[in-house]
Structure 1
Amino acid sequence: MSCSGFQPISLEKPTPEDEELSDKLMEKVRSVGGFDSEETKESKGAVLLKLDQIAKEFTELLSSAMSSTEQVSGECHIKILTSGLHGLGVPTNKPDIDVLFVGSRLVSRLRFFSLFYIMLRRKEGVKDTNAAPDAFVPVIRATVDNVEVDIVFAGFPSKDIIPGTLELRDDNILKGLDMESVRSLNWCRVNAEILHLVPEVDNFRNTLRAILVWAKRRGIYSSCLGFLGRMSYAILVAKICQLYPHALPSDLIKAFFELFSKWKWSWQCPVLLKPSTENWEFGDLAWDPRDNPKDRAHVMPIVYPIHPHINSTFNVTESSLQIMKKEFNEGFKVVSEVHNNEACWSKIFEEFKFFDEFQHFMVVTASAADDGRFRRWVGMVQSKIRNLVNFLEPRNCISSIRVNTEHFSPVSETNKYVRRWFVGLVSQRPLRAKDLRSPIDKFKSMTVLQARRVGFYTEDMKLEAAYVDRHQVEDMRKENSHFGAPTLSNTAAVGTGEQPSTSSVAEKTCQYDETTLPIPPKVRKTE
């Protein structure tokens, strides 16, 4: 199918049969965890209140310190916004949330990632704190009262007070912001624009819930590993809602699979929610294949509907694109059966049996000596696995490659900080270990070199990659204490927010030592 425009394909109104079919679909989505429970809602709400209180304490302390040491006018003021799936109104039952802190002129990024970070990690109920202030999208990650939180920051140097309502859709809001703030603000700006562009918000949200559950169960929900993340799927669903403005979720999900299984994926045929305009002031950040040759290498462009127009699928490889096209096609067949009363909705949500599909595998194993180093190291390794796929793709002996989006943690008395990922391989002939030696060596060298470059690599960080057959895989799986699949709210590498970067957040995640933090003198004394 060629690139569609921006006019609806059908204005047909739903029938009573459509309504009944949609009700059954949403019942199934709810039964498989596509909605958050009342308990999860309350937990997230309490965490947001706690973060707001910490923000108030932070601004009060900062104001007091600055008034004593600096001749400044104005106030320290912060506003908190939710982003991610929660910001779209599609929260899942997973206890996690993405938050944007918007700071006034006197709340600098340096102060936020120093003083606020210290105050947060000292609060009761807060654990697993990490900060990446120098990453492409600077982020603080923490677990607050058993809710995982990603916090990004945008500073407004021209505002003394952050207004109660921010005009997120207005491009002028970006004027005067540094690029870190532009990228951080994108999380909320994309959400606001999507909700503005879809004709029926409830139908969009319910369809997105269904698609995300399907993608997770089919093993194609992880932007970090070369598939699509939450924002890419949200844009695709929004596109379908635009083309079928009156359709209900049961018809929208069918149209989703039909359209995108036939879409002519290439840089010349991106998915857009509105006509693109000139990308002002953003340079290489904006996706522009006309002027930027590297953007023409993107095989599945799904573009943000706001400035800067970023391609959300820069990690997709040729192998993962073919896998997703196959899953889209299979999804269309199953949903057609449901519409013809030949199957139930449960069939579309059947899990992909990864280990039953392959005879040949590659296993990637990462380990470290302690929890802090381990979390940084596995974030780095996971963000590089797609490069391993790229190294494997040109080899004539391999016809298909698929990364398992679940990770595994072997039971070990000697080292509990171990994680494994499996890559399924289809070969035209019997594979030998030496066939894969060159891609493995390149992958290991690249990953270690990048960790050294950003300054957190230590000798206890180990990385192995090896060919294994099905029998060896079964033995390895018996060793595993648990496995973890990507959640419905955050599947990118740590805090990447699906942004393109040569230095991802996962690569630069660090744990601060409070004694080395650049805190204003008065604030350090107060601490």
Structure 2
Amino acid sequence: MSQDRFQTSREVYHRIRWDPRFDAREFVIGYDAHGETMEEMPFGAFAPDGEIPWHRVWYFKRGHEMVWDRRERIDRLSSLTFKTSEEVVSPPPPPPAPTSEAAPRFTPLPLYRYNARANAWIEVEESVSTEVQPAPADLTFATFNVLFDLYDPELLATHRRTAATISLLRSADADVIALQEVTAPFLRALLEKQWVREHYFVSDGPDASTVEPYGQVLLSRYPFASLSQCVFSRDKRIIAGELALPGGSLWVATPHLTSNRDPVRAKARTVQVQALLEWTRSLGDSPDIALVGDFNFGDDAPEVQDFQKAGFVDAWTALRPGDVGYTFDPSRNTLAALMTTSGRRQRLDRVLVRSASGRLVPHEVGLFAEAPLSGPPGPGGDALFASDHFGLSCVLKRGDAPVQAPAPALPRATPRPLTVPLVRQSCLVIVPPEEVWAPIQALRAVHDSKFERWMPHVTLLFPFVPEDSFGEAEALIMEALQGIEPFEVMLSGFGYFEHSSDVTAWLRPDARPHGALEALHAALEKVFPRGEARGREPEFDFTPHLTVGQLPRAPAATIRRTLATWERDWRPIRFEVGDVCLTSKRGDGPFEIRRRVPLGGRPRSGASRSTPPGPSKTGRSSAEEKDVLRTVLSARGEWPSSETRQARQAVVGRLEALCARAGAELLPYGSYLLGTDNAGSDVDAVAVGPASLSLEDFAQALTRLVSDQEGPAAARFVADAALPLVKLSLDGVHFDVSYARRPEGVEPCPPTELLARYGERLDTPGFRSLNGWTDTRELLDSVDHEGAGAERFRTVLRAVRSWAKARGVYSHALGYLGGLSWSVLVAWACTNAPREATRSDSGLLAYFFETFSAWQWPRPVTLTAGTAGYRTSDRRDLMPVVAPALPPRNTARNVSRSTLQVLRDELSRAREVVRRARAEGTEAAWAVLFEPVDLEKELPVRLRVSVEAPSPEAREMASGWVLGHLTALVYRLEADRRLFARPFPNAAPEGPFFIGLSSRDPGGHEALSSRPGSALARTMDEFRASFQEWSHRPPGAVLYLELAPR
């Protein structure tokens, strides 16, 4: 038996947290909650030296495996880390020094790791690199040129790009990250991030000695046994290191070769390439090598052959032959367009692998950071990207036994081309499934003059062969598509083409994997050539697009502003491309589908991601778990029908028109913009108007316009609310419309620009109103670019919202959490959950409740880089859930001592219910989660608050005052520390309102007494007095407070 000392809980915690070989997200902590049973919390939710002391931590588990147990004296942590019977493979010797004094030399570099005790980045001791590491089955590499700001800082919006880039790198979740063009400020911002401090070794520290004026940085989850650099000039170098792993070393180097901007690029690049290849030769043939970085040459450069001759395989061409994979694309990236001198699209960033043993094999490769950043445009007025390059991510499989590396794909025999004359009465297209047409057709019906002639489509080839040749064409297409698998397309943004007389507006189809549409088009064009022999230009630049309309010619800024308005309300649509369609028109009729040819020779599945799937008919699986949960949610009305959604969109469109008549632009936000609204949801919106239109004038005009509408319509202006607004109902849809007035002299502009440039000149209600819209946009951007994705976010948010309403904790006004707060919490779970939890709706929902039932409040929950520094300030910060947009704001400031306890209790109940429901997998088990709270059971003593007034309007107004001041009443009640108050949702808008009162103090019965002079009686009298002093109190309105024992 081992005589080693038994580790303390503190030592185990810090070992799991700081040892890069462990993924802390896999662990849970068991602790004594002063109850009959132990409680558990996710590892990341535990606050060291916080509310739970170390002596109450009883065990650590990874999954279902007990790793450390105080009571049973179990400590298996070391067995998770080290192998006991393997010999440590000696690493190969370091590379010999070059023989020529003039040749570039590799010189040692220190390695840095964050030390929590010292609260600083420190150089790693040499002994760290000698530890045996567990053998990873695969390694993910990411490389990104982050674009320095030395030459054109005013055009690059570096502060925004830095925050976005660091967020993208976190999402890449790579084991090794290679960065180029890193500056000292960027490096220091990166080193401040907790995820970097917790998980990575870094090739440079806060002194930034290798990035002046800019340079490369390597980050690795595994420590380097050695690290060195080869310096060519003040800003050109190679950073290289050795990862000592079981079975042999892995050497990694990140180059940034001289770019085309350098006038002496040919000579300088030759020296750099020779030095890099000489370094790889010096290592011998046995070690595995990965070269990851910005090589600054395209596929037609002679250097490509140099690396091939040296035995390197390009991961991109090995895995995705025929896919261009441009990482520098001026046609798609405005920063690349700004930086380019040639306008050429090129694949500059690469992952090159050499593995003589066949142990290291490219498995997956793709691009990231392809989409423009959310928010206002860049300083030049165009969309802003994180960098002028796209990022490159690659997974390398690593096995103990040699495996066959992927050989370069052999070219397929090209199908013989069909040379019949092309006609404009036929076209080869992709047609989205009909279930996703509705929002596309809504746009086309208004803007597309060819709405009646065409179905929604992405053109592949036009003109095309005549219909009488479709039989022969179908056979050739089927042969050409044998090697092309179905892929996903997302319609997420807008673009346009300019013509002599008008402008064509279109939706951008983004394919996953990247380049799939271009590869499909290239395969088809070989069969149906487009060149000069067919009356076209030989260079045909294919731009995938789905036309939605035509616009009159106008300045580019005006067109972009119009498309930005469309995009603001657009919800991305995903669908699978499973076939291509041969279409034709006969006479004056519309184009119709005549034949479909499946991709990859397989029948089309018909699956679409735009709507929730029905229950699975297969055995139990994560997909079935998801379907059971969605079935229960659908039964609760959480998924409105497409007809209901279209009807609500039409009503919103009507209100937009009324606001325009009143002189303002309507911007819906909240659940409507998130895409999680249902048939009964209110629509939150802000109207933005000119300086000449006051709040009162806008409210009066809108109220009058709504009242004049046919059908059910009503509106009233609530002037004395904390945020003045117009409450209205139009065709059964309820709206809360606030107002923001542009400052004097400010022209119409997007709301993000209005806040960024003129926020200080806005009045407080206008500023707050616009923040509601920007919060929603920031939240959407977070879930679109990180973690589980927007679709899963929406499903889990629907589930959380339905649960919170059923349990009476969905209300900011009552002191719980409102819609924005719950959305932030769900978004946090989506972007921070481990991969296993994001594979199903139920898994992510379980992670949500596991995390927040054990969250160490008042530790803030923040979603964006700009709000990560939020600090609690006063007693209203009991449960800080911070809004995603700046300035940082706690969206849960109404939470009190009592309502915080209610939330904790309900989250703990939900955690247990979800555990059981996932185990049983039945609709009945899931339905328990949404059981309404029992008023009679939960409220033993109730304070009943009600109003009476001479008219329905006056009663509605008085009830609004009560609802707005109910949290103040709760705070007054809680001044007696013996009292516990639970506000309960009112059944009707006009009340009555109930607050459950109880005491957890042995002598608490006195606190529940309302006899004259008691603390409770005084609080009730003070609240009545506040109502009487209300300056806008309707004449004849009376407030009643009654204590009603059960």
TM-score relative to the length of structure 1: 0.73
The Cα shift of 1:24 comes to 1.4
Identify the residue that residue 178 of structure 1 maps to in structure 2: 763
Match of 1:90 among 660, 666, 676: 676
Give the root-mean-square deviation of aligned CA atoms: 3.2
Question: Which amino acid in the other structure matches residue 205 of structure 1?
Answer: R
Partners in 2 of 1:158 and 1:403 — Cα distance?
44
Match of 2:817 among 220, 223, 228: 228
Identify the residue that residue 335 of structure 1 maps to in structure 2: 914
Identify the residue that residue 1029 of structure 2 maps to in structure 1: 452
Partners in 1 of 2:826 and 2:811 — Cα distance?
17
The Cα shift of 1:176 comes to 3.5
Does 2:272 correspond to 1:272?
Answer: no
- Cα distance change on mapping 1:463 and 1:303 into 2, 3 Å: same
Query: Does the 8 A contact of 1:304 with 1:311 survive in 2?
Result: yes
Which of the pair is proportionally richer in strand?
Answer: 2
Identify the residue that residue 239 of structure 1 maps to in structure 2: 828
Partners in 1 of 2:173 and 2:936 — Cα distance?
41
Query: Does the 8 A contact of 1:171 with 1:307 survive in 2?
Result: no
Partners in 1 of 2:844 and 2:753 — Cα distance?
28
Partners in 2 of 1:322 and 1:127 — Cα distance?
41
**Superposition pairs of residues 377-416 of structure 1, within 5 angstroms:** 377-395=958-976, 398=979, 400-407=980-987
The Cα shift of 1:148 comes to 1.2
Partners in 1 of 2:1027 and 2:736 — Cα distance?
23
Question: Which amino acid in the other structure matches residue 306 of structure 1?
Answer: A
Question: Which amino acid in the other structure matches residue 30 of structure 1?
Answer: S
| Percent of aligned positions that are identical | 26
- Cα distance change on mapping 1:123 and 1:103 into 2, 3 Å: same
- Cα distance change on mapping 1:169 and 1:29 into 2, 3 Å: farther
Match of 2:1043 among 454, 467, 470: 467
Identify the residue that residue 25 of structure 2 maps to in structure 1: none
Identify the residue that residue 19 of structure 1 maps to in structure 2: 623
Partners in 1 of 2:1013 and 2:691 — Cα distance?
53
Does 2:928 correspond to 1:347?
Answer: yes
Match of 2:779 among 161, 181, 194: 194
Identify the residue that residue 96 of structure 2 maps to in structure 1: none
Partners in 1 of 2:868 and 2:862 — Cα distance?
14
**Superposition pairs of residues 511-522 of structure 1, within 5 angstroms:** none
Choose 99-108 or 84-93, whichever is displaced more.
Answer: 99-108
- Cα distance change on mapping 1:322 and 1:397 into 2, 3 Å: closer
Question: Which amino acid in the other structure matches residue 51 of structure 1?
Answer: L
- Cα distance change on mapping 1:308 and 1:397 into 2, 3 Å: closer
Partners in 2 of 1:465 and 1:232 — Cα distance?
30
The Cα shift of 1:31 comes to 0.8
- Cα distance change on mapping 1:467 and 1:17 into 2, 3 Å: same
Does 2:892 correspond to 1:316?
Answer: no
Query: Does the 8 A contact of 2:876 with 2:895 survive in 1?
Result: no
Query: Does the 8 A contact of 1:388 with 1:439 survive in 2?
Result: no
Partners in 1 of 2:643 and 2:734 — Cα distance?
15
Partners in 2 of 1:10 and 1:331 — Cα distance?
30
**Superposition pairs of residues 137-152 of structure 1, within 5 angstroms:** 137-152=723-738
Question: Which amino acid in the other structure matches residue 201 of structure 1?
Answer: A
1:388-439 deviations in Å (ceiling 9; x for gaps):
32232243654x3312113359xxxxxxxx7312222234455543289533
The Cα shift of 1:160 comes to 6.3
Partners in 2 of 1:277 and 1:360 — Cα distance?
41
Partners in 2 of 1:160 and 1:387 — Cα distance?
39
Identify the residue that residue 955 of structure 2 maps to in structure 1: 374
Match of 2:651 among 47, 64, 70: 47
Query: Does the 8 A contact of 2:712 with 2:731 survive in 1?
Result: yes
Q: Which has the larger radius of gyration?
A: 2
Identify the residue that residue 116 of structure 1 maps to in structure 2: 702
The Cα shift of 1:107 comes to 3.7
Partners in 2 of 1:381 and 1:128 — Cα distance?
22
Partners in 1 of 2:712 and 2:698 — Cα distance?
17
Partner SS state of residue 197, structure 1 = helix
**Superposition pairs of residues 148-167 of structure 1, within 5 angstroms:** 148-157=734-743, 162-163=748-749, 166-167=751-752
Question: Which amino acid in the other structure matches residue 776 of structure 2?
Answer: N
Query: Does the 8 A contact of 1:8 with 1:245 survive in 2?
Result: no
- Cα distance change on mapping 1:37 and 1:90 into 2, 3 Å: same
Partners in 2 of 1:358 and 1:446 — Cα distance?
21
Question: Which amino acid in the other structure matches residue 1029 of structure 2?
Answer: R
1:180-211 deviations in Å (ceiling 9; x for gaps):
22111011100000011112111111110000
TM-score relative to the length of structure 2: 0.38
Query: Does the 8 A contact of 1:95 with 1:146 survive in 2?
Result: no
- Cα distance change on mapping 1:175 and 1:419 into 2, 3 Å: closer
Query: Does the 8 A contact of 1:204 with 1:241 survive in 2?
Result: yes
Question: Which amino acid in the other structure matches residue 902 of structure 2?
Answer: I
Question: Which amino acid in the other structure matches residue 439 of structure 1?
Answer: L
The Cα shift of 1:99 comes to 2.1
Choose 457-466 or 81-90, whichever is displaced more.
Answer: 457-466
Partners in 2 of 1:43 and 1:126 — Cα distance?
15
Query: Does the 8 A contact of 1:96 with 1:149 survive in 2?
Result: yes
Identify the residue that residue 7 of structure 2 maps to in structure 1: none
- Cα distance change on mapping 1:342 and 1:50 into 2, 3 Å: closer
Choose 106-115 or 89-98, whichever is displaced more.
Answer: 106-115
- Cα distance change on mapping 1:116 and 1:433 into 2, 3 Å: closer
Partners in 1 of 2:875 and 2:865 — Cα distance?
19
Query: Does the 8 A contact of 2:755 with 2:770 survive in 1?
Result: no
Identify the residue that residue 216 of structure 1 maps to in structure 2: 805
Query: Does the 8 A contact of 2:811 with 2:817 survive in 1?
Result: yes
Gaps of 5+ in 2: 1-44, 49-165, 175-618
Aligned residues: 425
Identify the residue that residue 511 of structure 2 maps to in structure 1: none
The Cα shift of 1:303 comes to 0.8
Query: Does the 8 A contact of 1:362 with 1:424 survive in 2?
Result: yes
Partners in 1 of 2:885 and 2:754 — Cα distance?
8
The Cα shift of 1:95 comes to 5.2
- Cα distance change on mapping 1:128 and 1:345 into 2, 3 Å: same
Partners in 2 of 1:204 and 1:245 — Cα distance?
14
Identify the residue that residue 133 of structure 2 maps to in structure 1: none
Partners in 1 of 2:620 and 2:691 — Cα distance?
55
The Cα shift of 1:43 comes to 3.5
1:156-195 deviations in Å (ceiling 9; x for gaps):
23676535x5547973463533322211101110000001
Partners in 2 of 1:46 and 1:178 — Cα distance?
31
Partners in 1 of 2:915 and 2:745 — Cα distance?
53
Which of the pair is proportionally richer in helix?
Answer: 1
Query: Does the 8 A contact of 1:225 with 1:403 survive in 2?
Result: yes
- Cα distance change on mapping 1:37 and 1:445 into 2, 3 Å: farther
- Cα distance change on mapping 1:3 and 1:241 into 2, 3 Å: farther
Query: Does the 8 A contact of 1:257 with 1:329 survive in 2?
Result: yes
Identify the residue that residue 878 of structure 2 maps to in structure 1: 299
Query: Does the 8 A contact of 1:223 with 1:315 survive in 2?
Result: yes
- Cα distance change on mapping 1:255 and 1:168 into 2, 3 Å: farther
Partner SS state of residue 337, structure 1 = helix
